[in-house]
Amino acid sequence: MEFYQNLSALRKSKNLSQEEIADRLGVSRQAISKWENGQALPETTNIMKLCEILEVTPNELLGYEEYKAQTVEKLTCDNEEIKEKKKWYKTTPFKVFVAVLGALLAVNLIMGLIALGFAGVIMMRKDVNDSVFPNEVVSLEPGETMTMGGAAEFSVQGTQGEKIVIKAEYMPKVYSNGYEYSFVFSGEGMQTVTEKAQMKNGRLTAMAALPQISGAIEVEFITDTGYKKVPVKIATIDGLDENSIEWH
């Protein structure tokens, strides 16, 4: 069975309601319902908590034990030649084969859990048209992620001493309430400027005071998932003064 089927069956076998599970995890009942209907998947931390509540291993909850059992059964039962040579199972080559198979399954499990965490969770994604950016404020359930994306925008807001204050706006391809975002400005002859981004009017926004330099200023957008920081170059500012800003 798949994860959502396992979760529903194990919860019912423990005589637990969706509300009881939700209270113990600190999430909404609707989130539990989505997990059991296959519409979304929980974060890695919630998967581990579910294992404790339901008294099962992650392999059992995620369905890997059943997959492993089916794989071993196919290798051992469907091959008549192996059936007829059972003594060979006790030899060193067969033991090596089983060890390699177990290692491969373990690697697949680890990579799967890492993927869950990198997403901060296995995500429910929603397609959103770029037209929502100017006015709509994004609201997500904990652990959910929204597929969006859009071009970077910059505007001059004024001056701060000899520096130019600009507003940077950007929406990455994937947005999640659980991530942290920041803009990083760097260029030859200037100190790197890092400003944390906040969601405003449907776009991640930050204010930055930048020096007027002769060269270009590179702009990176950093997504911090909690497990990894992912930098993406989003623009190059090649013209900046107190009245205007140019970028490509």
**Residue 152 CB contacts under 8 Å (≥ 6 apart), including other chains:** 168, 169, 170, 219, 221, 234, 235, 247
- How far is Cα 240 from Cα 229, in angstroms, rounded to an integer? 28
Are the beta carbons of 172 and 147 closer than 8 angstroms? no
Domain boundaries, the chain: 3-118, 130-247
Q: How confident is the model at residue 234 (pLDDT cuts 50, 70, 90)?
A: confident
- Closest of 38, 30, 90, 88 to residue 63, by C-alpha: 38
Domain spanning 3-118 has what CATH number?
A: 1.10.260.40
pLDDT (tens digit per residue) in 62-86: 776 554 555 555 555 555 666 666 6
Instruction: Decide which of 124 and 217 is more confident.
Output: 217
Are the beta carbons of 165 and 158 closer than 8 angstroms? yes
- What is residue 57's predicted lDDT score, i.e. its pLDDT? 85
Instruction: Decide which of 136 and 156 is more confident.
Output: 156
Is the pLDDT score of 93 beyond 60? yes
Q: What is the mean pLDDT of the chain?
A: 76
Instruction: Decide which of 129 and 211 is more confident.
Output: 211
For residues 25-34, one letter each, b for 16 or more C-beta atoms within 10 angstroms of the residue's C-beta and e for the rest, the string is bebeeebbeb
Q: Which fold has domain 130-247?
A: Immunoglobulin-like (2.60.40)
pLDDT (tens digit per residue) in 15-45: 999 999 889 889 998 988 888 888 888 888 8
Task: Output the CA–CA distances (angstroms, integers) from residue 247 to 200, 219, 224, 236, in the order listed.
Answer: 22, 10, 25, 5
Cα distance between the two ends of the chain = 50
pLDDT (tens digit per residue) in 112-122: 766 665 444 33
Q: What tokens appear for 230 in the block? A: 């992912």
Are the beta carbons of 216 and 237 closer than 8 angstroms? yes
- What is residue 240's predicted lDDT score, i.e. its pLDDT? 85
Is the pLDDT score of 229 beyond 80? yes
Q: How confident is the model at residue 4 (pLDDT cuts 50, 70, 90)?
A: confident
Predicted TM-score (pTM) above 0.75: no
Nearest 10 degrees: CA dihedral of 10, 16, 18, 22? -100
Q: How confident is the model at residue 132 (pLDDT cuts 50, 70, 90)?
A: very low
Is the pLDDT score of 135 beyond 70? no
